[in-house]
Amino acid sequence: MRLTIPEEEIMSPGHLACQGCGAALAVRFVLKGLGRNTIMSIPACCCTVIDGPFPYTAYGVPIWHTAFETAASAASGIKAGLDVLGRKETTVLAWAGDGGTFDIGIQALSGAAERGDDMIYVCYDNEAYMNTGIQRSSATPYGAWTTTTPVKHPKNRPKKDIVAIMAAHRISYTATASIGYPEDLIKKVKKAKESEGTKFLHIIAPCPTGWRSRPDDTIKLAKLVVETNIFPLFEVENGEIWKLSKKSKGTPVIDYLKLQGRFRHLKEEDVQTIQMNVDKEYERLLKRCESA
Amino acid sequence: MSEAKKIDWKGVDDMPEMAVSLSTMRVNKTASWRNLKPIIDYDKCKPCGICWKFCPEPAILLKEDGSPVIDYDYCKGCGICVEECPRKAITMHREER
Amino acid sequence: MMKVIMGNHALSYGAKLSRVQVIAAYPITPQTQVVELLSEMCANGELDAKFVKVESEHSAMAASIGASAAGARAFTATSAQGLALMHEMIHWAVGARTPIVLGNINRAMGPPWSIWTEQNDSLSERDTGIMQVYCESNQEVQDTVIQSFKVAEKVLLPCMVVLDAFYLSHTYEPVDIPEQSLVDEYLPPFDPPYKLDPDDPHTFGSLTDAKWYYELRYKIEVAMNKARYEWKKANEEFENIFDRGYGLVEDYKCEDADLILITSGTITGTARITVDILREKGKKVGLLKIRVFRPFPIDEVRDILGSAKKVACIDRNISFGHSGIFFAEVKSALYNLSNRPPIWGYIAGLGGRDVTPESIIEIVKRTEESDKPEELIWIGLKR
């Protein structure tokens, strides 16, 4: 048997992730891709808790827990410190959720990216403030229920296009990945490691607790979100060259939506709106890829 | 770092100066979280590594020949392995306690 | 080497002589020259440090903490609004036990906008656990940066070196800039007990419930208490090498004084001259300068003030709804003494208003003539 991802486990079991947690898988995959010579900066997010309480840890590499809006700025400081101490070969990994990236941490992230500070910034996206109890973030998709977007007033704005924002910083490498496709994810992690300056990876990580989905559907959802073009997999080099990583299957969005309680309230016309928006966005992405 | 050492200090003088980890979460056996228990039918299993690959804990180990072994100390019973196994070689069973 | 430099550059020289390795800073008036000179020093190779030109003070402190956690000596500088924006991360630096040195130029908080001196910015950080040292001269600013690293790295707490906007930050004074070799002899390289190191991986700052959080807070207080001793020791060693020094406090003509003035920052210089003027007129006036504010020099304050008949505290700050902050601190330090002098609290010089010898003479006169201590007297208020 040939393994398709690195065998060595860096993250240890016993951690505090919920059953079927996509974020825990994201940590596991990314650390497999980067290896042990990595330091992680983690702001307030599910992964703060998943790592376990003092004096224990689950991730297997040095972890710097930091304040909510400081994943990138703390990582910049860690990198600067390592540089002056001559430890340039260590990868600095900023690891934040969607709230810490799209919302409260975007200033520090933008600052680090503009400076080109050498780090890989991973946003593991579970599309709401899951750690605080499923409140909407600017990564929450259109139509979704959260505890602050109740079913009578579900989210009525689209998800922020974080990848375009990061690509607009002209950083060397930006990519999307899904825990449903670990080989592609790890390939991108390795590519990010080899690229210079700030690199940004946007990883979709289903959350059974917040998505109101079955824990055993996590991988299925992580694949469907890609197959439906809701979360297409692509790369952007230097903010200019856009490349699709996977051909579209064009699976109807309803196949994805119906597995999640957070979309249960949607009417047929809402689903049609979502399908239309997804198609339009995907067309836009294809144009970007063609023109590049 | 030492593996899976339980740490229980008597008091403040035994502790490090700041909140620094001194052991791993392996001390935390998450088996108690499990309501349903995945069991591998080795007659059906043709080792492919998929269950191992998608375990979020990770609580599936691979033997030399590539066949998977579930580490029931840590398996939380999420059922991803059951769902993803292409040969339907893993099935869920009510946890007996 | 004697050089005439501004207070802001005294901070920069202090940082350079301390061989800081990472500087992360964001510009704010009146701090800018601190980081301008440091970025020049980094650019021309005089200083072997990485300068992270962050996009906010919040990031400045977050990056300084990250650098310190990686094992590098880190320095930053700010003022007023910038310090307020850093506030969350100052708590973080303390809890993480990262011995960063922060230069803060005392500036009044807006609104209305003001760029002139006042201590409310730094004193708002009083309860974070960062050490605070208030300087009177440019020489003291430079030397205090070096001493701060010495103490901070011993006790693993950050330290704020505080100087008045313009009265010190932009005022040129002769400063003895020592040989690097002497500073190297004084200040060893930074060597923390734990750092971010893939060869010895540890997690820092994990979720900590009530089982151990309380003990970790106790350790911060133990470190603060130890810092009282470390400041004295650091100063003794400093005196041995550099022939000058500064205590936690400085008392001036207090031995036989009936009335002791309390000051901090640049008002001290004016007060010292005023004490001389009043002494010439036969008035037994003394002066206590509080230099180290955190840890609070409780023993020194008690020793020096215990014998006075009257005490008058001058605060360029105010805790609205209570009193001047140094006043409140001194008063609480004296409370448990069986023989304690009455203490008058004066607010003066907010927003950079000049505090002159005349202002201080007025304070002395008012205290002398009063029988009953008053807690909140506004000096120089236009009515």
CATH number of the domain where residue C350 is located? 3.40.50.920
| DSSP letter (8 states) at residue A154 | -
d(CA C320, CA A267): 56
Q: Is B1 part of a structural domain of the chain?
A: no
Q: Is B24 part of a structural domain of the chain?
A: no
Q: Is C383 part of a structural domain of the chain?
A: no
What residues make up the domain containing B54?
Answer: 29-94
Instruction: Indicate the pTM of the whole model.
Output: 0.97
Tell me which chain C residue has its CA closest to the CA of residue A63.
C203
- The answer to whether the beta carbons of residues C244 and C139 sit under 8 Å apart is yes
What residues make up the domain containing C264?
Answer: 249-378
Q: Which residue in the set A19, A55, A220 is minimally distant from B33, CB to CB? A: A19
**Pair type for strands B68-70 and B60-62:** antiparallel
**Lowest pLDDT segment from A273-282, B2-11, B88-97:** B2-11
Average pLDDT over residues C118-131: 98
Residue to mutate among A57, A64, A87, A89, with most C CBs inside 10 A, is: A64
User: In the prediction, which pLDDT does B3 show?
Assistant: 55
Domains of chain A: 22-291 (3.40.50.970)
d(CA A27, CA A12): 11
Q: Is C49 part of a structural domain of the chain?
A: yes
Is A13 in Cβ contact with B59 (below 8 Å)? yes
Expressed in percent and rounded to 5, the helix, strand and coil fractions of chain B are: 20, 20, 60
Cβ neighbours for A52, distance < 8 A, ≥ 6 positions apart: A14, A15, A16, A58, B25, B28, C206, C207
To the nearest whole angstrom, how far is the Cα of C38 from the nearest Cα of chain A? 16
Q: Is C25 part of a structural domain of the chain?
A: yes
Average pLDDT over residues A195-220: 98
Give the domain CATH number at B43: 3.30.70.20
- Peptide bond preceding C297 in cis form (omega within 30 of 0): no
* Residue A220 reports pLDDT greater than 80: yes
**Pair type for strands A241-244 and A234-237:** antiparallel
* Residue C95 reports pLDDT greater than 90: yes
Q: Do both C223 and C329 map to the same domain?
A: no
State pLDDT tens for residues A22-75.
999 999 999 999 999 999 999 999 999 999 999 999 999 999 999 999 999 999
Q: Do both C177 and C270 map to the same domain?
A: no
Domains of chain B: total: 1
Last residue of a domain, one of C242, C260, C295: C242
Q: Could you say which residues from 13 to 32 on chain B have a Cβ atom under 8 Å away from some Cβ of chain C?
A: 15-22
Q: Do both C106 and C204 map to the same domain?
A: yes
Q: Is B80 part of a structural domain of the chain?
A: yes
* Residue C111 reports pLDDT greater than 50: yes
How many residues are listed for chain B in this entry?
A: 97
Domains of chain C: total: 2
Q: Do both C261 and C234 map to the same domain?
A: no
Q: Do both C185 and C267 map to the same domain?
A: no
User: In the prediction, which pLDDT does A193 show?
Assistant: 98
Give the domain CATH number at C103: 3.40.50.970
End-to-end alpha-carbon separation of chain C, Å? Answer: 49
A236 SS3 class: strand
Cβ neighbourhood burial of C304 (10 Å; 0-12, 13-18, 19+): buried
3-state secondary structure B5-35: CCCCCCCHHHCCCCCECCEEHHHCCHHHHCC
Q: Do both C70 and C217 map to the same domain?
A: yes
Q: Do both C100 and C234 map to the same domain?
A: yes
Q: Is C80 part of a structural domain of the chain?
A: yes
State pLDDT tens for residues C185-217.
999 999 999 999 999 999 999 999 999 999 999
Judged by phi (left if over 0) then psi (alpha if -120 to 50, else beta), residue C380 lies in left
User: In the prediction, which pLDDT does A1 show?
Assistant: 79
Q: Is C169 part of a structural domain of the chain?
A: yes
Q: How confident is the model at residue C356 (pLDDT cuts 50, 70, 90)?
A: very high
- Note whether C93 contacts A: Cβ–Cβ < 8 A: no
Q: Do both C211 and C279 map to the same domain?
A: no
Q: How confident is the model at residue B1 (pLDDT cuts 50, 70, 90)?
A: very low
Q: How confident is the model at residue B97 (pLDDT cuts 50, 70, 90)?
A: confident
| CA distances from residue A237 to A160, A192, A284 in whole angstroms, order as listed | 20, 10, 17
Average pLDDT over residues A168-187: 98
Average pLDDT over residues A197-206: 98
- Note whether B86 contacts C: Cβ–Cβ < 8 A: no
Q: Do both C59 and C183 map to the same domain?
A: yes
Bridge partners, C345 (sequence order): C313
Q: Is B35 part of a structural domain of the chain?
A: yes
Last residue of a domain, one of C242, C274, C300: C242
| DSSP letter (8 states) at residue A102 | I
Structure tokens at B19: 């909140």
| DSSP letter (8 states) at residue C108 | P
Q: Is B53 part of a structural domain of the chain?
A: yes
Last residue of a domain, one of C210, C242, C274: C242
Q: How confident is the model at residue B96 (pLDDT cuts 50, 70, 90)?
A: confident
d(CA C268, CA C260): 12
Q: Which residue in the set C193, C201, C202 is minimally distant from B17, CB to CB? A: C193
Average pLDDT over residues A210-226: 98
* Average model confidence (pLDDT) across chain C: 98
d(CA A81, CA A79): 5
Q: Do both C95 and C234 map to the same domain?
A: yes
Q: Is B71 part of a structural domain of the chain?
A: yes
Q: Could you say which residues from 146 to 205 on chain C have a Cβ atom under 8 Å away from some Cβ of chain A?
A: 196-198, 201-205
- The answer to whether the beta carbons of residues A176 and A233 sit under 8 Å apart is yes
d(CA C175, CA C171): 12
Q: How confident is the model at residue B2 (pLDDT cuts 50, 70, 90)?
A: very low
Angle value at C-alpha C20, between C18 and C25, nearest 5 degrees: 125
User: In the prediction, which pLDDT does A247 show?
Assistant: 86
d(CA C43, CA A14): 48
Q: Do both C158 and C200 map to the same domain?
A: yes
List of chain B residues whose C-beta atoms are within 8 Å of the C-beta of residue C216: 15, 18-19
State pLDDT tens for residues C266-311.
999 999 999 999 999 999 999 999 999 999 999 999 999 988 999 9
d(CA A55, CA A69): 24
Q: Do both C202 and C254 map to the same domain?
A: no
* Residue C265 reports pLDDT greater than 50: yes
Respond yes or no on whether ipTM tops 0.85: yes
Bridge partners, B20 (sequence order): C204
Angle value at C-alpha A97, between A206 and A270, nearest 5 degrees: 50
State pLDDT tens for residues C58-94.
999 999 999 999 999 999 999 999 999 999 999 999 9
User: In the prediction, which pLDDT does C70 show?
Assistant: 98
